[in-house]
Every structure is written in structure tokens, then in C-alpha cells.
Amino acid sequence: MTIRLAASSGFCFGVRRAIQMALSAAEGKNNDVYTIGELIHNPQFVQELTEKGIKICNDVSSLRDSTVIIRSHGITRQELETLIANRNRIIDATCPYVSRTHEFIKNAIDENYDVIILGDKNHPEVIGMLSYGNSSTKVVAPGEIPKDFNKKRLCLISQTTQKIEDLNNLVCEILPQLIELKIFNTICLATTQRQIASAKLAKHSDLMIVIGGKQSSNTKMLASMCSKYCQTVHIETEDELTEELFLGKQYIGITAGASTPESRIVKVYNKVLKINGEEDLVTSIQSIPLFKEESC
Ligand code: SF4
């Protein structure tokens, strides 16, 4: 088998930054530090963080005089106000690309635009974005066409992990009904690059292995995109790979979501090598061959 890794696999800038901030906050501390929700959507890595004293808290109002890390997805405006009121020491690891969506929404509301957010209404990032809107702010899912919106002055903004095609499609659907449409393309470049690289690899693979938390929005998006081109499995760990999966397959592609540690990618790659009967395993992601389109 030929096994190749998609370019831009693994931790993105925002996740790497949040982890570094959390680890340095926990270093040398006797008391636990808390994250609001899981720091990243990766159960195995969250377990490692817990062992380092970084615990998860889902009830903001229960924290007082504590050290609290805001993860890369951000939190709601109301949660932030509660944390401040309860004298917590806040380490804001909200990804700057997410923070700017809050600013854009606040400014659009001040300028009297109604706001539509393209995204998953249950995702913490979108819940945070929504809190900076007002009572007319709506969330629409990819492929959904909004009804009853302000036909004069509308602002459209996206969750950072959405697909650009879905934003384009939404614009095409609503623009003919509008006088003025303000659009913020807040889809993160790291997400777009990862999606493009994974799709290119999937087109040249018989099997795609997508590594990342089963709850990770950007990993689920990668798996759905790759599945258009070849058989695709979404796994959290190498233990989910069986030899049968590889029967009759020649080209194997590997990609990983933005919250997948490099060490996990290495373990998955080594498992595939072993299934392929190879004995020389790798110790770092840099030793894994990257897919280059011109090599096809
Ligand atoms: S995917 Fe983009 S927006 Fe989200 S945390 Fe990573 S860098 Fe930030």
C-alpha cells in the first residue's frame, strides 16, 4: 500500500495556542485550573490534560476566585460577565479568528443590520457568536434557506469551520431578495486549507482515514467531504482500524482535524504501516510522506 498524509493535518494555530496557554497556566500551580467545556474535542488528549490538573467545568457560575481558561471556541458574553463578576483569573485563549466574529457581529448590530450566522446552532462557537447578536439574530445550517429575514439590511457571517461553498450557496439564495447584504467571510484559512488538501488526497485514494474527536465539528466536516471521493472512516484512535478495512486497497490517505495531536497521527500511521507488514515505524509527523498532487 502507498500511505500518504494530507498537508495541513493536525493542530491548527488556534488550538495549539490554547493548549500552550493552558499548559503554562497549570505549570507550578497547586490549585486546579478549569476550562469552560473541553479545551479541544479530543477525549484522549483531554484525559492527558486532566492528569496535568486542567479540569473541565461546564457550569460557569460555580467558579469563584479560580483560574479559568477560555478555549479556542470562545464562550458567551453572559458567561464571560459571570466569570468576571466572580473574581476569576481569566486566561482568554479564544482563537483570534473567533474573537473577531464577536466584534463583527457587535458592530453589525450597532449599525442596525440583522445578522444571520451560517453554522451549527448547537456548536459552542456558534452559541458564543449568537450571544453577541440581538433578538433578531438567527443561525442557519448549511443548505438551509432562511425565511423571514430583514430584506433591507442584512449581515451574513459564518462559523469558522464551515465550507466556503455553503456560504456561497447561501449568498446566491438570499441576495436576489435583498437591497443590502454585508458578508463577512470568517471561514478560517486553516480550515479551508485543510479541507482542500484532504479533498485532493481523497480523490487519489482508495481509503481515507480521518482522525479526530467524534464530536469535533471540523473533523466531521473533513470526513463528510472525503466520503464524496472514496471510502472514508472517521476514527479517534488507531485501535479502530482493522486489517479487513484495507483489503483490496492500494492508496491510503490520512488526514486529521484541527484538534488532533501529532502524536495521535503518528500512532495511526504506524498502525497502518504494521498492517502493511512494515517494520520501520516513525517517531514524528515530519517522517510521514505528505501527499503532493503532482506525484499522481
Ligand atoms: S480552526 Fe481556525 S478559527 Fe478554529 S481554532 Fe483553529 S485557527 Fe482558530
Task: Decide if pLDDT at 294 tops 80.
Answer: no
Task: Decide if pLDDT at 130 tops 60.
Answer: yes
Half-sphere exposure at residue 261, Cβ-oriented, CA atoms within 13 angstroms: 18
Task: Decide if pLDDT at 31 tops 90.
Answer: no
**Over residues 169-194, mean pLDDT:** 93
Residue 80 burial class via C-beta count within 10 angstroms: exposed 0-12, middle 13-18, buried 19 and up: buried
- pLDDT category at 119 given cuts 50, 70, 90 is very high
Among 38, 125, 236, 238, the one annotated catalytic: 125
Q: What is the 164 CA–ligand 1 centroid distance (Å)?
A: 15
Task: Decide if pLDDT at 77 tops 80.
Answer: yes
Atom of ligand 1 nearest to the CA of 218: 1
Closest protein CA for atom 6 of ligand 1: 14
Residue 218 pLDDT: 86
Q: What are the residue ranges of CATH 3.40.50.11270 in the chain?
A: 13-95
DSSP line for the chain: -EEEEPTT-S--HHHHHHHHHHHHHHTT-SS-EEEES-SSS-HHHHHHHHHTTEEEES-GGG--S-EEEE-TT---HHHHHHHHHTT-EEEE---HHHHHHHHHHHHHHHTT-EEEEES-TTSHHHHHHHTTS-TT-EEE-TT----S--SSEEEEEE-TTS-HHHHHHHHHHHGGG-SEEEEE----HHHHHHHHHHHHHHHT-SEEEEES-TT-HHHHHHHHHHTTTSEEEEESSGGG--GGGGTT--EEEEEE-TT--HHHHHHHHHHHHHHTT-----SSGGGSPBP-GGG-
Tell me the CA distances in angstroms from 128 to 68, 72, 77, 252, 267, one per residue in order. 17, 11, 7, 37, 34
Q: What is the 95 CA–ligand 1 centroid distance (Å)?
A: 6
Residue 296 pLDDT: 45
- Quote the CA–CA distance of 116 and 166 in Å, as a whole number: 13
Report the chain's mean pLDDT, rounded to a whole number: 93
Other CB atoms within 10 A of residue 1 CB: 15
Residue 87 pLDDT: 95
CATH 3.40.1010.20 matches 97-187:
yes
What would the pLDDT profile of 201-242 be if each residue is shown by its tens digit? 999 999 999 999 998 888 998 999 999 999 999 999 999 999
- With pLDDT > 70 as the criterion, what percentage of the chain qualifies? 99
CB-CB contact of 90 with 68 (8 Å): yes
Closest protein CA for atom 7 of ligand 1: 14
Task: Decide if pLDDT at 169 tops 70.
Answer: yes
Q: Which residues line ligand 1 (CB under 6 A)?
A: 12-15, 72, 95, 97-98, 160-161, 188, 190-191, 218, 258
CATH fold of 2-11+190-295 reads Cobalt-precorrin-4 Transmethylase; domain 1 (3.40.1010)
Residue 149 pLDDT: 86
**Over residues 28-41, mean pLDDT:** 84
**Over residues 57-72, mean pLDDT:** 94
Closest protein CA for atom 2 of ligand 1: 188
pTM (two decimals): 0.84
CATH annotation of 13-95: 3.40.50.11270
Task: Decide if pLDDT at 94 tops 50.
Answer: yes
Closest CA to 174 of 201, 145, 153, 203: 145
Q: What cell numbers appear for 188 in the block?
A: 478560517
> Is 38 marked active-site?
no
Residue 134 backbone dihedrals phi, psi, to 5 degrees: -130, -165
- Quote the CA–CA distance of 99 and 96 in Å, as a whole number: 5
**Ligand 1 test: best mutation among 20, 102, 191, most atoms within 8 Å of CB?**
191
Q: What are the residue ranges of CATH 3.40.1010.20 in the chain?
A: 2-11+190-295, 97-187
Task: Decide if pLDDT at 90 tops 70.
Answer: yes
- With pLDDT > 90 as the criterion, what percentage of the chain qualifies? 80
Q: What is the 12 CA–ligand 1 centroid distance (Å)?
A: 6
- Quote the CA–CA distance of 99 and 63 in Å, as a whole number: 23
- pLDDT category at 156 given cuts 50, 70, 90 is very high
Residue 292 pLDDT: 78
